[in-house]
Amino acid sequence: MNQRPSNLLDEALGLVDDGSKAWPLSGRVVLVEDRVETSAAFVLHHLVKRALSPHSSNVVVFLALSQPFSHYDRLLRKLGCNLAAQSENNRFFFLDMLMSEFPDGDEGGLVALYGKIEKVVSSLLQENKKCITIVVDDLSLMEAAANGSSNYVLDFLHYCHTLTSAFGCTLVALNHEDIYLSMERPALILQLEYLADILIKAEPLATGLATDVHGQLTVLNRGMWDGHGSSRNRICNFHFRVKENGVEYFSPGSMA
Amino acid sequence: MHIQNVVERVSIVMATTKSRTSSFSRNLTAVPSSTNPGLKYGPNGTIFMSSGIPDLDKILGGGFPLGSLVMVMEDAEAPHHMLLLRNFMSQGLVHNQPLLYASPSKDPKGFLGTLPSPGSAKDDKSRVRDPEQEKGLRIAWQYKKYFGEHQQSFDSNKDGKHEYCNDFDLRKPLERHFLNSHHIDCVSIQETQDLAALRNRCATFLTQFPRNDGNVSPAGRIAIQSFCSPQCEYSNMEWDMLSFIRSLRSMIRSSNAVVFLTFPPSILSPSFSRRWQHMADTLLSVRAIPDEDKELAKLLTGYQDMVGLLNVQKVARINTQVPVILEATTFSVKLRKRRFLVLECLNQAPIDGSSGSSYGTSATCSGTSKSGTLDF
């Protein structure tokens, strides 16, 4: 089966260009990890853009804890995706959670948020939407909003996970891995990494900063069907350079 | 007065004729112009305000973007973050930008007396821009095109009031009339047990600078010194402090203001230190240089004149996904004529290639044990 991936990341994720196939991330949990030195926000932007491509009827529900709408709108436009228009077409739902708080023991907090998302998903399914992608930017801010009650955040993610298994939604979450490196038993990140079907990790290069290579991505894709009826884990590593209108991916040691 | 009316009328006209926001329209909320020298347009629809340090503005590609959070990691051994803080505060006052200043001292107002004044014209005229030194300044490469346009505002000092960024004379205190204005609000955070009060104070202050279309408003500055200092009663409430920073960050996103916050990372647990670093849009760290360090003297040229080191860990990425990769991230902090703060790209003396690590490899702030003297 000859597939023509757009780039190394799409190939690692199994995203084909023409969109005639079903959204391959349906029913899967994608965990994106990064660090202070190397941000992986561009991965989220790329996935949003792919999900909202004109060939499909996918819908994106975006939980924004990190930046306001204007930020994403502006930068996605340069990637060729008009969030304001998609929002009007009910393909992009933006939940501004910059000021949201989920204090301890408050039933109205994350549980209510899940309720809202579930409502949106159910109504979209009734309209026969093929796939809904829920994006969380980012989880460490959700923990801060919950004042440290990581259990509530985990519960919320487990609820969202039911949406992926029951309704074929895609869950994409960004978290900052370096926060948890020094902790003894960081439940949030351990459980997330266990739950994730796809793990995308952005790290700086071993050789340090460079103007032409911004970092390296490692993609672990669990249970990727290889077209011969069997599934296997697949791990890819490549370098990237982030630009205003897209990202270049290339094998280590080769500049595109 | 008259000029101000004209500017206001022009912006009101522009606001009413303005159609739905497109990515190509400029945000006219606070119009940088000759009557508003305290602000400057940046790329991607951002507007900058000056850090008060000409070299730092250049390194950062213009200054601090409105709506961003600047954090400085302190070195417990030396108060160099105060140099950055003072210049930031003075610059705002010179430009009539309201200031909210929070500090762990019992009498924050006293600190205002130590703020520097812009250097007088004759001092600046004699500042020789050594072309060799000029080359040594590394400018974020994609901002070079903007630097060219505003060349004149960095050089000659015609009139201190009309400069975007002043060259502050650390030996000359700021004139009293700047300090007596009603634009300054001081808060002591030493006795604060509940950060909600400080949060409300910041929220109230920020209502003066809403980011709306067609609204001409000045920009504001919030300066918070040594936020997790152990003197403060809340300093062991890690989640509360994080929550405060998060809400401050969120509030600032919809304001035409900049928050400048310094903190000693050694006080925080490593994971919280990392959480705070992720919160920052622009992240700097300062470090003392030990006196009479023979090893360092061999390594660096001009070592005797250095008062400290500044490391640029992260540069704000507002409205863009492209990271800012600087050609150099570590700078020496020097006082020109013992009065003016300058930052110079480190000139490492040639070292034996087989030993030692290049200073360029590590810009991390993690507590790795392999750190060389220049890694921090």
- Give the tokens for residue B211: 């980011």
Tokens 């009007």 correspond to A88
**Torsion sign across C-alpha atoms B235, B239, B242, B248:** negative
Q: Is the pLDDT of residue A104 over 70?
A: no
How far is Cα A51 from Cα A131, in angstroms, rounded to an integer? 9
Scanning A189-228 for CB atoms below 8 A from B yields 204, 207-211, 214
- Give the tokens for residue A98: 């910059």
What pLDDT is stored for residue A230 in this prediction?
Answer: 62
> Which of chain A's residues have a Cβ under 8 Å away from the Cβ of B23?
73-74, 77
What pLDDT is stored for residue B58 in this prediction?
Answer: 95
**CB–CB contacts below 8 A, A to B:** 100
Beta-carbon contacts of residue B343 (< 8 Å; ≥ 6 apart): B53, B55, B56, B59, B137, B310, B331, B332, B333, B334
Q: A231 at the B interface (CB within 8 A)?
A: no
CA dihedral of B282, B313, B105, B89, whole degrees rounded to 10 = -50
Q: How many helices (H) and strands (E) does chain A have?
A: 8, 9
A 10 A CB-CB count for B5 gives 9
- CB contact (8 A) between residue B366 and residue A210: no
- CB contact (8 A) between residue A141 and residue B246: yes
What pLDDT is stored for residue B306 in this prediction?
Answer: 85
* pLDDT tens-place string over residues A145-184: 999 888 899 999 999 999 999 999 999 999 999 999 988 8
DSSP conformation class of A33: E
How far is Cα B227 from Cα B268, in angstroms, rounded to an integer? 11
- CB contact (8 A) between residue A214 and residue B323: yes
Cis peptide bond prior to A138, omega within 30° of 0: yes
Are B288 and B34 in contact by the 8 Å Cβ rule? The answer is no
Mean pLDDT of A119-146: 90
Q: Is the pLDDT of residue A3 over 60?
A: no
Q: A41 at the B interface (CB within 8 A)?
A: yes
Q: What is the mean pLDDT of chain A?
A: 88
What pLDDT is stored for residue B358 in this prediction?
Answer: 43
Mean pLDDT in order along chain B per 10 residues (376 residues): 42 40 44 77 92 96 96 93 96 94 93 92 50 54 52 44 87 90 89 89 94 71 94 89 96 96 94 96 92 75 83 95 90 90 78 43 36 52
Q: Is the pLDDT of residue A35 over 90?
A: yes
- CB contact (8 A) between residue A178 and residue B250: no
Q: Is the pLDDT of residue A117 over 80?
A: yes
Give me the residues paired with residue B222 across strands: B100, B259
Query: Residues of chain B whose C-beta is under 8 A from some C-beta in A?
Result: 23, 44-45, 141, 238-240, 242-243, 246-247, 250-251, 253-254, 269-271, 274-275, 277-278, 283, 313-314, 317-323, 325, 327, 329, 358, 360-366
Beta-carbon contacts of residue B79 (< 8 Å; ≥ 6 apart): none
Helix B195-206 / helix B238-253 crossing angle, nearest 10 deg: 10
- CB contact (8 A) between residue B246 and residue A182: no
> Which of chain A's residues have a Cβ under 8 Å away from the Cβ of B317?
39
Q: A80 at the B interface (CB within 8 A)?
A: no
- Classify residue B105 by burial, with Cβ atoms within 10 Å: 0-12, 13-18, 19+: middle
- CB contact (8 A) between residue A68 and residue B317: no
Of the residues B278, B279, B311, the best mutation for testing chain A's interface (the one with the most A CB atoms within 10 Å of its CB) is B278
> Which of chain A's residues have a Cβ under 8 Å away from the Cβ of B319?
70-71, 74-75
The percentage of chain A sitting over the pLDDT mark of 70, rounded to a whole number, equals 89
Are A38 and A71 in contact by the 8 Å Cβ rule? The answer is no
Tokens 């606070």 correspond to B30
Q: What does the longest C-alpha to C-alpha distance in chain A come to?
A: 53
DSSP conformation class of B149: H
Are A72 and A83 in contact by the 8 Å Cβ rule? The answer is yes
Query: What DSSP string runs through B304-330?
Result: GGEEEEEEEEE---SS-------S--E
How far is Cα B203 from Cα B215, in angstroms, rounded to an integer? 19
Closest-CA residue of chain B to A244: B322
What pLDDT is stored for residue A14 in this prediction?
Answer: 86
